[in-house]
Amino acid sequence: MRKPATALHRRPPAVARRAARTRAEAAVDLVRVEFDAARLEREIAQLDRRSALARRALEDGRHRARALVARLTDEGAHQ
C-alpha cells in the first residue's frame, strides 16, 4: 500500500514592511532577518541529511532486490 505524500506546509510570505525609521527598528529588523536566515540554513541542512539517508536506503533496497531476483532465477534453474 502506498503511503500518501506528506503535505508541505508553506510559510506565509514575508509581510512587506515599511523601511526602518530609527536605529532601533533597523536593529529589530536585522535580528528578524538573521533569525529567518539561520532557520532556513537549519532546514536545508536537515533536508540534505534526509536526502542522503533516503539515497542510501534506495541504493540498499535496489541491491537487495537484485540479490533476491538473482536467487530466484538460480533456484528456478535448478528445478
Q: Model confidence at 5, in pLDDT bands (50, 70, 90)?
A: confident
User: Residue 15: its pLDDT value, please?
Assistant: 64
Residues 6+ apart with CB under 8 A from 29: 17, 20
What's the start-to-end Cα distance of the chain, in Å?
32
Interval 43-65 mean pLDDT: 98
Contact 20, 26 (CB under 8 A): yes
> Phi and psi at residue 2, in whole multiples of 5°?
-80, 140
Nearest-angstrom CA–CA distance, 58 and 62: 6
